[in-house]
Structure 1
Amino acid sequence: MRLSKIKLVGFKSFVDPTVLHLPGNLVGIVGPNGCGKSNIIDAVRWVMGESSARSLRGETMSDVIFNGAATRKPVGLASIELVFDNQQGRLGGPWAGYAEIAVKRSVGRDGQSGYFLNGARCRRRDIADIFLGTGLGPRSYAIIEQGMISRVIEAKPEELRIFLEEAAGVSKYKERRRETETRVRHTRENLERLNDVREELGRQLQHLQRQARAAAQYRECRAEERRLKAELLSLRWRALRAELESHQGDLRREETGLEAILAEQRRLETRLETGRLRRTELNDAYNEAQGRYYRTGAEISRLEQYVRHQEELRERREEDRRQTATALARIEAQLAQDRIQQTEWTQALAAAEPNLVEARSGEGEADAGLSAAASALQAGQAAWDRFSHYSGEIEQRVQVEQTRTSHLERQLEQGERRLERLRHEQDQLAAAELDRQRGGLEGLEPALAEDVREAQQRLTDLEAEVSATREALRQADLDIRLSRERIQAGRGRLTSLHTLQEAALGRDAAEVNEWLQGRELAQAPRLAERLDVEPGWEIAVETVLADWLDAICVPDLGALAPAVEERLRGRLTLFEPAVAKRDARAAAGLAVKVQAPWPLLGLLDGVDTAASLAEALARRAGLAEGEVLVTPDGLLCGRHWLRLARDGDDGGVLRREREIRRLEPELQEAESRLQERSARAEQLRMRLHDELERQRREAQQTLSDRQRDHARIQGQLQALRVQWRQARDRGAHLVEERAELEERGRHDREQLQLARLRLDEALAARQDLQAERANLLDARERASEAMRQAQARADAARREVARQTAAGETLRAQLAAVRQALERLDAQRCQLQLQHERLEPADDTAGDAALATAEDELARCLETQLTVEAELREARQALDAQEAALAEAEQSRGRCEQRAEARRRAIEDRRLAWSEARIRQDTLGEQLRELGAEPEPTLLKLEPGATEADWLERLAQVERRIQRLGPINLAAVEECAQLAERKQFLDAQNADLLDALTALESAVRKIDGETRTRFQETFERVSTGLGALFPRLFGGGQAHLTLVGDDVLDAGVAIMAKPPGKRIGAISLLSGGEKALTAIALVFAIFQLNPAPFCLLDEVDAPLDETNIGRFGALVQELSARVQFIFVTHNKATMEIARHLAGVTMQ
């Protein structure tokens, strides 16, 4: 740990905020005289807890605050902050984890200091605890200021011991030992006080135990009374429970009936919902059947067209086959006649060429006509298909709108019937009458509630008054008991004092008393009984008068002379006041301190007073013969002698007499006050039992009656509120339902109007389609006829072309070459044969099969159409039947709702009766809980035949027994228990204190042992270090430490030094420089043992010469490896060893 910086604000000469950085382990502070260098040393000591202003070179603590100058005003606050570098964690405990520790102290003009640790306010003790054992402190060996070197050397042994204790780290042990001794002393004081309290508690406990037994009987009677009250209330609660069970049974039956009706209603609603779903399903089935019917019609139309087309194709193939066969036969014939008719064919070829061209031209025209006819037929068929689809949609729209219109009309009719029922139900609701009744009861309820509150308040006030009276009575009984105990204690004390006084004054001597009785002097006063001594001088007067205190005051000594001459055993002193009255001298000396009916100069002559033994010894030389001095403690002093002449029994005679005189009137006054308190307590007791208890019972009965009336009205009001809320909610529900039905009706009417419009539009569209249907059918027939004719012409043209081509080819072949005629005819024949094979009936078989399939499909579609039509009729009938069933179910549900409403009204009546009984039962339950009981467990303990009348009689008997008990201290049981518990606690505390005392004494012994061991070790090590450093600083010689005293714990420490060339002897014989070097050697020896984090040296080198300064500088440099040195110096050689110089100016 190293001191890194010092922050000074307003401290002495440092008025402005100043920060002194200390970057190394050798820092020198330089400056002219008077600039304030030493104020830095004072600042460090002040922060570390210095509380003596004189040690800081001031008169008061506020002197450390800058007090102004010629050009600067004073300031009101001074603060110093030391910042430590704790990166090595030398500070242990909670501060080990902080790399930097800031310690700050501030003071204002009021002299109050504030301490801070890292910015947090703390105590001065906390600052001291941090530096305990580190060698740092306000007066530790680590801060060596101007003149301190000589004070260290010239210090007393016990003062020098403090430095070694700090180095040994036993200062915290000494602090702990002082705290432990303080705790031991406090523990012993606590034990003494505790024993006194335990004795007093023992006496009080005996008295309270007698009262507690009487209170226990009273509490038993009260407990029996509470038990009987609880049982009586439980009997009433049981009767109400039976009534509640009856109401509950009726309510369950009504609710069961309601549940049955609601179950039937839910069943009907389920039927309705199922019927609606069935109606939706049937409607969907009807629409689906209607869609199938239309789709079947469209399919029939398509199949009819397909059959007609297939028949046309078959006829066309038959024609082609006949033509091919004819051509083949013709070629065959021509082949036979080839060679014969070659010439004919040449001529024929020439004639056939133009015919062939013409035939081909006709074939092209026929094909074009066929294509146009086919396109026209296809367009017509597409138009017919579109028309069929559109007409189907129109027909479907018509059916849908017709169905929707019918449904909306029926729904509107049902809504009107429902609205009529709702209007009738609204007219039947009696919400206004219920509201009127509710308003009447609500107006009555606050008054009843106010009555209940007044009764409750009256009962609360009475109970508070009863409690206050009981408390006052308890306190009065306690005061009476305490007064009696004090009177008894006083009488005991007075009796003891009288006994002691009689014994001291000789009244217990039987033979002397008999002698006095025979002379009628038995009642004669003793001298001590007639004296009044100034307080504080009783012992002195008793010492001087001694045996005269029991002297009997008699009227005439001469008259008793014969009797005195008789033989009498014992000691007897007689005093004649009449003779003493004739002494007219002025009182002096001790006689001034004594007041009596007559002067006592004869007994106190020559006795003077002295305030103390020292005064008596000082004045004894002036005493005449026979004169003595007496002190308040009873010491007698003559010119040549001193005597203590106090006896154990007579030593307190006058004090006892004074106490007897004081106690007698005090006891009389206490007895008078006791009588007054007893009378007051009796008045309170009579008022409590005769007046307040009766008023409380009446208030309790009044409260019960008003609570019962209030509960009845609340029950009726609650029932009316329930009925009114039900009627209001039902009315609101009816209004909402009517609004919903009306809105639904408006919506349905709008939808019906739209459906009718759409139906009219669909019907009109269907009507418009009739003419278009006829036109399309006629156009389709014409297209088909044109197609057939174009096909016939095309076929004829193709046949003609084929014929001409074949003839031409034959002629050309024959004409081209006779040798190829047969081949060409064979090729042509093959070609015709292939064509003929393509047109074989096998091809017709596939077409005939497709045609037969289409005809069968058409027949099935016609049958399906009949079936779908039948299904459509059945779906329409089922839909109508479902609509009728739904209407019947709606009527049944309405009848169920009427029966359910009647049941609800009956249930509300039953609930109202049940609520009234329940409120009465709850009231009884509350009263039972106030008595600390529950009805069920109480009833289980009752006899089987218990009745309310029997319990009323038992309760009256218990109340009479309570009245016969008379006044009772109810707090005695609790007080006795509390007192016993307290005594037990005090006994345990006494044992704990004894254990703690033993532990503390053991801790003191352990601390002493640890302190002795550590101090002895430190003493030896410091002495060894001093012996090693002394020769280095002096260039020779020797020095060591020695203990002054036998006990290591208390022995002082002295330094024995022998500089070179001198004999070992007292330190006071050394020169100033030698003393300084010796002090430095001691401080550095301590540093080597337990180095403080830093060391402040304030002009320590001032008395040293150059040679010693060199040795001092070398030693400081060597030790700076472990210790941070901050030194104030004027010496250049010392400045040279500094690694950092800080200058202080006069500005």
Structure 2
Amino acid sequence: MAEGRPVGQRLAGLGKPINLRVIALGLDNFKSFRKKTRIPLRDGFSTISGPNGSGKSNIIDALQFVLGTATSRGMRAERLTDLICNQGGKNSARVWIEMEGTFPRADGTLVTKQIEVARVVRRSRSGTNAHYELDGDSIRLTDLHDVLRNLGFPTSGQNVVMQGDVIQLATMGGVKRRQVLDELAGTKEFDRRIGEAHRELEASDRCTEDTKLILKELGSRLGQLKKERDQALAFQTLTSRKASLEEDLTVLEVTEAEVKVGAKAQEIESGQKAERALSKRRETLTQALEEKQSDLREVEAELAAKGEGERMQAVRAVETLRAKLDGAATRSAELEATQKAREAALPEAEAQAAKHTKTLAELDQRAAALDGQVRAKEGAHQALAGRMEAASEALSSQSAAQLDAAQQGRKLREEQERKRVRERELTERDRTLAETISRLAAEEQHLSASQTEVSGRLGEVREASKVAAETYRAQRESTAETTERRRKLLQNLNAMRAGLESVSAKVGKAEREVAVAEDRRTQALLMSGGKALGFLRTKKLDGIHGPVSDLVRFETETALAIEAAAGGRLNWVVTDDEHVAKRGIELLRQSRVGRLSFAPLTKTRGPKLEGQAPRGAAILGFALDLVEYDPCYEEVMRSVFGNTLVVRTLQDGLPLIGRYRMVTLEGDILERHGIMSGGAASRSSRSLLAAATAGEEVEAKKQAFYELERQQSAARGALREAEKAYEAASQELAQASTKLAEAEAKSASLNGELRRLEEQGGSPAKRLGELAEELAAQRAEAQAVSQELEQVRAALQAESSQLSSLDDTGASSAFEALTREAKQLETEMRAIEVELAALRTQHAEVRAERRAVEERLASAEAGLVQARSELEALGVERARLEEEREAMRAELSAREGELKALSGELLALAQRRDAAREAAQAARDAVTQADHELRSLRESLEGLQVELTELRERATALRAAAEAREIEVPGPEEAPPDLGKERKRLEDTLGKIVRELDGMGPVNQLAIEQFDEAESRHGELEEKINSLDEEKTQIRTRIVGLEGKKKVAFLHAFALVSEAFSRTFAELARGEGRLRLEDPKDPFAGGLIIEARPRGKKLSKLEIMSGGEKTLTSLAFIFALQEVNPAPFFVFDEVDAALDGVNTDVLSEAIARRGSDRQYLVISHHRVMLDKSNQTLGVTMRKGHGTQVTGVTMDEADAENELAEAGASS
């Protein structure tokens, strides 16, 4: 066997097996197999034979046992422990089956895998334990069947046919026989879905009846609610009148307050008149004071005229000198920066000159290369001329008849050669002239462009120089501003970092507080469930939702009431189903940690609420309504809280004893039958309250933590923004400093360039005039040479035509060959001449470009000389500035001495000024006394004003309150003459209405809303009944549809099995067989009839056939079922017992034919059956040794090896 691993891993990435087969069956201490025995099974048809009682059927039982397809009773055992061999000396039995299959991989290749399925049963003092294994790993039966079905291996047991199954099929009624087809057609699933639909229909019927009862009760309440609503409406009318009278009283109060405000305002007006008289006296005193102050100003003016003016002039002179020193220092720095910029620009100018020098060298190389090409082409041309001469001499040596033509041709060719020489001379001269003209034109164009460029550049540089100077000044100011802004940003950044550190510390503290609160809440919940619940919480089993106390939410105020209402049921553990609950109970029992109650969601059902809770301020409602939970726990919560009512106090619940079970907010309990429980709650009984309180504390701590986190995040964001701003300011400062230096250098550079351009402005004009005259002469000569060249070429063309006509007159083969050669040579000479002309043109262009580069090099070298001279001038100017600064320092020292002497003279004038100030102070004191009197009067007025303000505020508040209540209040001018009488009238009327309201007694103020709600609820219930009727119609329609689909599935399976039965019966009995339904229209109302006509007999039903015919017919039906529902492995247990030799032979051949693509294991005593099989296993029973494999016969030569292997294992 391959190493045991879970099938999900071993078969991962593999498809469904192509040919799954059983290769061996193993038994160890199972029933009569006392010793461990492995029975190899071959492909095809295998048989088992042996005496009765030797244990043949135990092999079939072992197969059913290991595959879980039979109960212990089905294996002829009362209990599982009866399957253990008592004589084996072991307390366990094990059966295993080995299978092998070829599986396709995803890439299309095939791989062979082996699988082992085993089942073990053990007997111990604590009971019986049995489990299944798949490749050595424990597995549940349902999971095992899922794996086998995925592999195509049957798990229903239909592939195992016992002798009793054949007899039962022959004797069973038609309905049971039809039910065999039901299972094959899968009608059970349809029956399940139809049953669910019927249950839904019953639930809808119950819901409809309940709704109708509620509707009836609600209808009876509407009448009483209508009476209460009418009383409430009357109460509202009186209340409205009462509010109207109260509004009138409010208007009266506002009017009274505003009348008092008018009186107080008149009193203040009288005081203000007295204030105006006192103010006039103060003005007289103030005029006297101004005269004294005028005297003081005259003395101060004299001081300013005699001393301060001269002093300020001296100060301004000192400041002027200092400013000049600063300007000289700035100019010195500017000159230094300009000098550095010039020094920095020198390498670039030198590099440009070097670049022009390199370009000249490259152009010289190109010119030399072109000269070589020209010489090569001229050599080729001379060679072709020699060959042309040789061809001409060969033509001259022809016959006498051609001699004259040849001589004439030779003369013409000589003349042609002379003209070609002249043509070449003219061409060379034309080329030379073209080069000269091109050079002169380029120079002219360069000078014109240079002059235009210099003129334009001169204006641009002047403007740019002004802009650069202004830019330098603006950039210097911007740099100072940026430096100050960066300093302030740095201070802000440091403050924000300190603030962030403080907030981060608070966040850490809040996080620790949340953890502590969470721990307190967890401890409170653990205390509520005890040790067992704490243990179960740690296991975290699948399917466990948790205790009820974890699944409900409620207000802290109701915690004691909820805990009292639920009691110990708060510790119920909610599970998915009863199986999970069973696992939990077993785990608690094994761990011995205590007991718990479990509430499976699939089984728990609680009582419905008994109508609505009674209304009243002291009644909070049903406990179930005061908790929040997930809707899936509805039934569990009904079981936990039932119909328990929550009231505020014991006194509130006393009138309701006998009608409800109640709890109070203090945790007291009032049972419906009268028992009352209460008192001081112990600490353990307040665990839910403690958990709720801790939960609220956790939420509060979390909110504080989240707020601090938000603040921390905001602080970090602000810090990042501040850091970005500081970084931007730093970068801006660096850029500003760079731009300042650049602006300074640019300004100096532009000034130098301006001077150079002004010096160079007039030089190109003279050279342009000279070039214009030289160009005119060269162009005239070029035109004459071109005309002569055209004449020479025309004469050459005429002579060539004449020479061609002479050549044509003396045609002979040799002569024609020589003529063709001469023409070819002439063509090649012309091509070379064209190439020579192109090369000479290129040579001229290179020389012209070289001259332009030489001029640019000269210009660059002149610029270098100019830059060096400017550097020398800058050094001289800097030295001059230093001398001027020294002279200004000396003058500043002298000016500062003069300023010190002038300060002594000013001291005397200051003493006179002090005397004048004392006289002005006396006048000021008189004014102060008048101010004191005026202030006293004003304080009195302010007191009156405060009273007026208070009155106005009260009036304003009363008016605002009236306006807030939307009461329109007229002005005080519209007040009634007798405010007291009007107030009494309103208060009397209001008292009468109050007495009427008191006489109405208790009024249900909610009756109007309750009546509307009840009426709306009545309509909703009617709509719900209509909706339920529609739902029931839909369910009935679904049931009809499922019934139809069930019938179609059954008829399809019936058609397949019927067709297969006809074939298999013809194969086994050489006759005709058919299946027929008792009621074809309603197949489920009747049974299945099997009719057959064996060869040579009449058509008859299965029930009236002979024993052998019944067996063959039943086997044909079984084969038909197997064809429709194929499997790789089938077992027959003595199904041929009722057959004679001939029919057994037919059956064995049918099995052998089917064994080509599946395995058959047959228990039989017939020799013919054994002979037709591929493998025969013989079993015997030896006393004291149990069942043993004693012999095997097969048609393969290697059978002995497998027999030896089986014997060794036994």
- Shared fold, TM over 0.5: no
Query: TM bucket by the smaller chain?
Result: 0.3 to 0.5
Structure 2 length-normalised TM: 0.31
